Chain A
Amino acid sequence: MESLTRQHAQVPPPIRRLDPQDPTPAAEAAPERSTNFVAAKRSIAAPQFSIRRMEVDKVSIHYDAKEAVKSVSLPIRQGEVLALIGPSGCGKTTLLRSLNRLTELTAAAKLTGSIRLDDVDIRLIEPTLLRRRVTMVFQQPNPFPMSVFDNIAYVLREQGSRRMKKKVLEPQVHSALQRAGLFEEVKDNLKHPALKLSGGQQQRLCIARALAAEPEVLLLDEPCSALDPQSTAVIEDLIVKLREDVAVVIVTHNLQQAYRIADHVAFMYLGDLVEYNSATRLFNTPAQDRTREYVSGAFG
């Protein structure tokens, strides 16, 4: 690292000059994209079962005058992965955050309609209890500034009413790390600072933390957008594995990702739910023109 900076100090940074006579074109024409979305096969098996856990019923969310989500209805099932896709600002993240009442932290947000968890309106559930049953993983990995162990133990300690001994915590921490597929990589240095892990490991630690709360629904807000392809692949495998333990809802910008891991996909546009369908159908034979345009890359 030090030698690198020294090099920088001595050699002025390269500035590329463009030769006006340079015959090479600036960019090659983008290859034609097939209207049939992905030729790649979906590698995941069909879900073994699906149980309806949450029900989004005609939910609209306003920020002051702006309507971010317009009368959206959706089922959320355990055993399946539900992906929310759509261009930036279409309300998918807002909808996701409303599922565990995180939108309430923004004072201006107002929700109409109802969201039910196992047939109970979530507004009747105390927010901290709800957020333990419906946990969330964010776009930017946000492990706490503590050791790997404490990051997970924090959740357990805060849930327990009494101070928990390390002996009691240890197996629970290990199992959470195992479920997130991180245990083998960090088992020898559980005391290391979590912020020193790689981005992909940090995000899996956040998933482990979310799983340690023993949730029923796991919300993922673009969990891979800050990660490299390899870490993304690891997390995608993990998400598919998790779908039988918890209902998984993932917001993603990455259409290929949605196609790879989701069982059902909801396409939102400007706050409207344009189409809700199984992944294969939504991507290969979309029912709506807007969906077809979006998944074929006509706009985004």
Chain B
Amino acid sequence: MEEEFQSQYGPRWSDQRVGRLLGALVCAVVALLLALIVVVFIQGWPSFAHNGLAWFGPGGNVDEQLNVISQSAETGAGYVYTFHAWPLIWSTILIAGGSVILSLGAALFISVFLVEFAPTWMARILAPVVRFLASVPSVIYGLLGVLVLVPFIGNHLISESQKASVAGVISLTGYSLMAAVVVLTIMVAPLMVSIFTDALSSVKPGWLEGSLALGVNRWRTIWKIGVRAARPAIVAGTVLACARAIGESVMLAMLSGSTAFAPNPIDGLIFVFEPSRPLAPTIVKSSDQLSSPPAKATLFAIAAFLLFSAAIFSLTGWAARRSMNKYLAR
């Protein structure tokens, strides 16, 4: 039936051909992604298999465990896989979570200001600035952090008595949770601002005008109608920011203190000055040991965990957007 209508003299790039070509491209991309996930999980499997659920739990010094793992390839006494990643996971949660929460709040207010209250000239200057900030390579932020923020925290914020109080356990130098969170927030917030401003300025003008015409002031209007209508994009931006925050490695390797230590909030505010190391910088730091099979499996297991977390973020975001779209869809 369809064949009878095929034009013989029409343009070569018929819609069907373009459709098939793009479809094939999409399939290739999806296949690549699946292959990537499968490879990472297969490579990391020995580490998970040996440790079981204890992989995610606490126990022992992770840095020592990593050393033993990578050296076990040469001793001939058999591979050692024992690895308890909790301090790394906890550090990731603290740093990525803290900076995403901080930047979510900051980005919301900044973008509301930019869209609704800033004079036109200011918004016109700030929009490209924000976009540029979002695209600055993270090494530069890392360098600035090492040169400016870390000495400041080490010399001015941490008191000598605080340093003395934990001297037996860990040394407080300024390479800390705080440095990592502050710089990561500065990195992530522009990304969110640029997504939020786009979302807020594409809220249907009729909704905002309708609210203003009912005697609701501009602040309440942008907050209750604008931000509400932009919620799906806000969720999408936050998911993107989470993914970037857990994946950030170079800057965090420079600033987090690079010590497998789990800062404990129960110790009081001093925990923000304590060093740690998230998952992604651990891969960077140990990447020279990939020739050792057990170390390779351990690093791939970390990668698999990061991939899995990113997938969970995306799924959560998708579910949240779905429930929000109920009222937005026509």
Contact = CB atoms under 8 A, between A and B. Distances in A.
Nearest to B324: A145
A195 B329 CA distance: 7
A294 interface: no
Interface string A78-116: 000000000000000000000010100100000000000
Interface string A169-197: 00000000000000000000000011110
Contacts of B217: 128
B229 A145 contact: yes
A136 B207 contact: no
B212 A206 contact: no
A12 B228 CA distance: 42
Contacts of A136: 213
B20 interface: no
Interface string B213-236: 111110010001100110000000
Contacts of B213: 100, 102, 131, 135-136, 138, 210
| Across the A-B interface, the 7 shortest Cβ-Cβ residue pairs | A132-B215, A142-B206, A131-B215, A136-B213, A142-B210, A193-B327, A128-B215
5 contacts: A131-B214, A142-B209, A143-B210, A145-B228, A194-B327
Contacts of A140: 206
Given A10-B2, A154-B224, A195-B327, A144 B210 contact: yes
Contacts of A193: 326-329
A102 B214 contact: no
Contacts, number: 78
Given A142-B207, A194-B327, 6 more contacts: A135-B214, A140-B206, A142-B210, A145-B207, A154-B216, A193-B327
B167 interface: no
B212 A138 contact: no
Given A12-B5, A193-B326, A195-B330, A144 B225 contact: yes
Which of A10, A132, A142, A145 has most B Cβ within 10 Å? A145
A140 B204 CA distance: 11
Interface string B52-77: 00000000000000000000000000
B211 interface: yes
Contacts of A143: 210
Contacts of A142: 204, 206-207, 209-210
A132 to B, nearest CB: 3
B327 A147 contact: yes
A158 interface: yes
Nearest to A212: B214
Contact of A155 (B209, B214, B326): B214
Interface of A: 10, 12, 100, 102, 105, 127-133, 135-136, 138, 140, 142-147, 154-155, 158-159, 193-196, 206, 209-210, 213
A54 to B, nearest CB: 16
A209 B214 contact: yes
Contacts of B147: none
B1 interface: yes
A154 B204 CA distance: 17
- Secondary structure dominating the interface of B: helix
Contacts of B2: 10
For chain A, what secondary structure do more than half of its interface residues adopt (helix, strand, loop), or is it mixed?
Answer: helix
**Residue of A10, A102, A158, A209 with most chain B CB atoms under a 10 A cut-off:** A158
Nearest to B231: A145
Which of B212, B214, B229 is the most central at the interface, judged by chain A CB atoms within 10 Å of its CB? B214
Interface string B136-174: 000000000000000000000000000000000000000
Interface string B10-23: 00000000000000
Interface in B169-224: 204, 206-207, 209-217, 220, 224
A10 B1 contact: yes
B237 to A, nearest CB: 18
B216 A158 contact: yes
A134 to B, nearest CB: 9
B207 A144 contact: yes
A99 to B, nearest CB: 11
B214 A145 contact: no
Nearest to A12: B5
A144 B224 CA distance: 10
A150 to B, nearest CB: 9
A146 B227 CA distance: 13
Interface string B299-330: 00000000000000000000000000011111
Given A158-B224, A193-B329, A132 B214 contact: yes
A144 B231 CA distance: 14
Contacts of A105: 209, 212
Contacts of A138: 206, 209-210, 213
A213 B214 contact: yes
Nearest to B203: A145
Contacts of A128: 215-217
B215 A135 contact: yes
Interface in B1-49: 1-2, 5
B215 A130 contact: yes
A194 B327 CA distance: 7
Contacts of B224: 154, 158
* Most chain A Cβ neighbours within 10 Å, of B212, B327, B328: B327
Given A145-B207, A154-B224, A131 B327 contact: no
A146 B1 contact: no
A146 B327 contact: yes
